[in-house]
Amino acid sequence: MADPAQMANALRALAMDAIQQANSGHPGAPMGMADMAVALWSGHLRHNPADPRWAGRDRFVLSNGHASMLLYALLHLTGYDLPIGELKNFRQLHSKTAGHPEWGVTPGVETTTGPLGQGIANAVGMALAEKLLAAEFNRPGHTIVDHRTYVFLGDGCMMEGISHEACALAGAWKLGKLIALYDDNGISIDGQIAPWFADDTVKRFEACQWNVLGPVDGHDAAAVQRAIGQARQWSSDRPTLIICRTHIGFGSPGRQDSAKAHGEPLGASEIEATRAALGWPYAPFEIPPHIQAAWDARAAGAHAQQQWDERFAAYAQAFPQLAAEFKRRMAGELPAHFAQTAVDAAVAAHQKAETVASRKASQIALEAFTAALPELLGGSADLTGSNLTNTSHTLPLRFDTAGNVVRHEAGQIGRHINYGVREFGMAAIMNGVALHGGYIPYGGTFLTFSDYSRNAIRMAALMRQRVIHVFTHDSIGLGEDGPTHQPIEHAASLRLIPGLDVWRPADSAETAIAWAQALQNKDRPSALLLSRHNLPYLPRRNLSNISRGAYVLSEPGDAGLARAAQAVIIATGSEVHLALQAQDLLAAQKIAVRVVSMPSTSVFDRQPPRYQLAVLPAGVPRIAVEMGATDGWWKYGCAAVVGIDRFGESAPAPKLFELFGFTSQNVADTVRAALARRS
Ligand SMILES: Cc1ncc(C[n+]2csc(CCOP(=O)(O)OP(=O)(O)O)c2C)c(N)n1
């Protein structure tokens, strides 16, 4: 076996050379964590470079994503499809080596990291998914789900609040197969961290029910390897944190232990000095064959996967249905019968034509969908009774003192998670669950607190993950809780996130269809914005076109005026029935109005122009009605918007509707005024 120190130096050299070539990047952390990487990647990590999606692989998350060159060097050296040319192209347009690791861009990157603290939360989600899948699918003598989740994280991740949320849950959930290695180098961008990071990290993690090992010398690969071995041995009822004392920029005579090592290329002369200090005589990007061979993980990976394949074949023989179900779930495919389930749920809502809050309509739809989809893994950030995210099929998820998943009476595991008051943690954990595969996570909170989760929602969109956010109490209609709880800019601001579908359904049929769309859209997250207050069922002839994001709900003829529309009212969610009332008022004055319900702007925006024009005809003035910020509506060329561009008030909802102009009279007046301005 090659000298572990030289294996680590190969990582250091590739990192400093690629960063120098790009003239951009973060050399300090890769150089500091190189020995930890040797310990994990050559000693413990079970992976197969030829098949980065192999279900039985260990997961590795680089939570301190600015150390991306460490991961790229590891993937290259161990044999992933990441040739040296890609490392030479670090941070360049269309390379596979983006500034920070990106899921879906680089084979072997398990999650996109860079926003500090979210990687560790993703890892918690992955470890949770592993544990739950093991409880669901393993059978005596047939252990097919049995892998670990490893994380590297630094001071930045430790300081971020989200790491507290996620690590507290990892302890509470007793995720024994989660092993985190902390790059404890005492430096962040502003310098020595002691004045702003005085936490007792050992006590913190012990208090969160973790095992803590170390501090160990993070440059002693053998010591780190032993610590990982110890953590693996424990692996029962506690996650493990291994504290690794390291030197940022290790090996660089002029930069080691300084904040300057963090985020600047070393420079040609310092690289030369570092090569000399490390005893690494090779040219830039040159890896000697014996080091390359020592890193090559392809044979071991193929062997590990083959062993797993054999185990899986025996499992499939003994439990063919379970095996097929496991494959389906890991592939993220819905069962063949789901399309019918989705239709049935919408038709049932239509036939019942109930007046319900859309949050309740969501629960009714979920009742059917959680029955049909065992992979639905729900939850709420301590608002279950308000978000209505639970159903009779999703009992609470619980763990016993030994760390096992508690089974309910019929032997099933809980599928509804009490995340506690941890919105951001919940959102990032859900991303990890989705990335792992096997589950479709959804979670609830109030819409106004979507801000807490926001960056994780953005990351789900960036990673194209099917994560579903249930945001209830979606307007001033929540009433007396007041402006702190009344979302104003939230719908508009969520709609700005590329790749996120935002749905604000108007009644029970729209809600069922929004849910079905969110579930059927395999490669995008969705947010469902749901009302607290009751909404009447809308009069409609059929359910077609709801899934297209916007559709003509009512023509002037429906209000007794058989003529072409002079104006179009576009409304969403709880305001659609108001639009219909305004349509009636206007019809009485011989003003012909079409009402368009637009539950999802992004879905509508993706429709062919012909359809868009059929819904919103050219030359007919448009008036939008939504209880929220008006900004986003102007893009539809609206002549007027009935919206809210200030904070709400604390009062009973009917008073607020009056105050903010959400009355049929005001909507009708606004339409009339818009028409008057044109003539
Ligand atoms: C949420 C978030 N805030 C800020 C940053 C910018 N940032 C990148 S690295 C870093 C310091 C991290 O310190 P540490 O984890 O100790 O990394 P090291 O200095 O050891 O490389 C900061 C503030 C970020 N990437 N994410």
* Lookup: tokens for 345: 């749920």
What is the signed CA dihedral for 41, 45, 49, 54, rounded to 10 degrees? -160
Residue 325 among the catalytic residues: no
In sequence order, the 6+-apart residues with CB closer than 8 A to the CB of 310 are: none
* Lookup: tokens for 194: 């002691």
* Lookup: tokens for 69: 């060159």
**Residue (of 439, 447, 527, 453) closest to 486 by Cα position:** 447
**Model pTM?**
0.98
pLDDT for residue 1:
60
**Cβ-count burial of 272 within 10 angstroms (0-12 exposed, 13-18 middle, 19+ buried)?**
exposed
Give the count of beta carbons closer than 10 Å to the beta carbon of residue 94.
7
Average pLDDT value for residue range 619-637 = 98
The residue assigned the tokens 């926003």 is 115
What single-letter amino acid sits at 230? Answer: Q
pLDDT for residue 93:
98
Q: Which residue has the CA at smallest separation from atom 8 of ligand 1? A: 66
Q: Is 255 in the pocket of ligand 1 (CB under 6 A)?
A: no
Residues 582, 584, 586, 588, CA torsion sign: negative
User: 211 pLDDT exceeds 80?
Assistant: yes
pLDDT for residue 314:
98
Q: Is 57 in the pocket of ligand 1 (CB under 6 A)?
A: no
Find the length of the chain.
679
pLDDT for residue 235:
67
Instruction: Give 247's pLDDT tier (boundaries 50, 70, 90).
Output: very high
pLDDT digits (tens, 9 = 90+) for 74-99: 999 999 999 999 999 999 999 999 99
SS3 content of the chain, % helix, strand, coil (to 5): 45, 15, 40
Average pLDDT value for residue range 615-629 = 98
Q: Is 640 in the pocket of ligand 1 (CB under 6 A)?
A: no
**Cβ-count burial of 279 within 10 angstroms (0-12 exposed, 13-18 middle, 19+ buried)?**
exposed
pLDDT for residue 349:
97
Average pLDDT value for residue range 332-336 = 97
pLDDT digits (tens, 9 = 90+) for 340-371: 999 999 999 999 999 999 999 999 999 999 99
pLDDT digits (tens, 9 = 90+) for 364-376: 999 999 999 999 9
The rounded Å distance from CA 189 to ligand 1 centre is: 7
Q: Is 70 in the pocket of ligand 1 (CB under 6 A)?
A: no
Report which ligand 1 atom has the smallest distance to the Cα of 158.
Answer: 15
377 three-class SS: strand
Per the CB < 8 A criterion, the answer to whether 234 and 179 are in contact is no
Q: Which residue has the CA at smallest separation from atom 18 of ligand 1? A: 188
- According to DSSP, the β-strands at 191-192 and 187-188 are antiparallel
Distance between CA atoms of 71 and 61, rounded to whole angstroms?
9
Q: At what angle do helices 423-436 and 450-462 cross, to 10 degrees?
A: 20
What single-letter amino acid sits at 307? Answer: Q
Q: Is 62 in the pocket of ligand 1 (CB under 6 A)?
A: no
pLDDT for residue 163:
98
**Residue (of 639, 612, 611) closest to 623 by Cα position:** 639
The angle formed by the CA atoms of residues 483, 484 and 488, to the nearest 5 degrees, is: 60
User: 593 pLDDT exceeds 90?
Assistant: yes
Per the CB < 8 A criterion, the answer to whether 537 and 354 are in contact is yes
395 three-class SS: coil
The rounded Å distance from CA 60 to ligand 1 centre is: 19
- Of 16, 31, 184, 189, the residue with max ligand 1 atoms within 8 A of its CB, to mutate for a pocket test, comes to 189
Q: Is 131 in the pocket of ligand 1 (CB under 6 A)?
A: no
The angle formed by the CA atoms of residues 144, 118 and 520, to the nearest 5 degrees, is: 60
pLDDT digits (tens, 9 = 90+) for 426-468: 999 999 999 999 999 999 999 999 999 999 999 999 999 999 9
Residues 378, 448, 118, 76, CA torsion sign: positive
Q: Is 428 in the pocket of ligand 1 (CB under 6 A)?
A: no
Q: Is 66 in the pocket of ligand 1 (CB under 6 A)?
A: yes
Q: Which residue has the CA at smallest separation from atom 19 of ligand 1? A: 188
The angle formed by the CA atoms of residues 24, 27 and 29, to the nearest 5 degrees, is: 135
pLDDT for residue 392:
97
Q: Which residue has the CA at smallest separation from atom 13 of ligand 1? A: 188
Instruction: Give 2's pLDDT tier (boundaries 50, 70, 90).
Output: confident
pLDDT digits (tens, 9 = 90+) for 103-132: 999 999 999 999 999 999 999 999 999 999
The rounded Å distance from CA 98 to ligand 1 centre is: 17
The rounded Å distance from CA 329 to ligand 1 centre is: 35
pLDDT for residue 357:
98
pLDDT digits (tens, 9 = 90+) for 12-22: 999 999 999 99
Q: Is 155 in the pocket of ligand 1 (CB under 6 A)?
A: yes
Report which ligand 1 atom has the smallest distance to the Cα of 26.
Answer: 21
Instruction: Give 285's pLDDT tier (boundaries 50, 70, 90).
Output: very high
The rounded Å distance from CA 204 to ligand 1 centre is: 20
Q: Is 156 in the pocket of ligand 1 (CB under 6 A)?
A: yes
The residue annotated as part of the active site, out of 160, 165, 423, 575, is 423
Average pLDDT value for residue range 24-41 = 98
* Lookup: tokens for 647: 């904070």
pLDDT for residue 306:
98
Q: Which residue has the CA at smallest separation from atom 11 of ligand 1? A: 188
Q: Out of 3.40.50.970, 3.40.50.300, 3.90.1300.10, 1.10.8.50, select the CATH number for domain 338-535.
A: 3.40.50.970
Average pLDDT of the chain is 97
CATH class of 546-678: alpha beta
pLDDT for residue 578:
98
Residues 386, 388, 392, 396, CA torsion sign: negative
Q: Is 115 in the pocket of ligand 1 (CB under 6 A)?
A: yes
Of 97-106, 187-196, 349-358, 406-415, the poorest mean pLDDT is in 406-415
**Residue (of 365, 383, 359, 389) closest to 474 by Cα position:** 359
The rounded Å distance from CA 116 to ligand 1 centre is: 6
- Of 64, 68, 71, the residue with max ligand 1 atoms within 8 A of its CB, to mutate for a pocket test, comes to 64
Domain with CATH 3.40.50.970 in the chain: 4-302, 338-535
pLDDT above 90: percentage of residues in the chain: 98
pLDDT for residue 678:
84
CATH class of 4-302: alpha beta
Number of helices and strands (H, E) in the chain? 26, 20
Q: Is 29 in the pocket of ligand 1 (CB under 6 A)?
A: yes
In sequence order, the 6+-apart residues with CB closer than 8 A to the CB of 198 are: none
The rounded Å distance from CA 65 to ligand 1 centre is: 9
Domain with CATH 3.40.50.920 in the chain: 546-678
In sequence order, the 6+-apart residues with CB closer than 8 A to the CB of 344 are: 368
Report which ligand 1 atom has the smallest distance to the Cα of 186.
Answer: 16
Eight-state DSSP code of residue 6: H
- According to DSSP, the β-strands at 593-597 and 567-571 are parallel
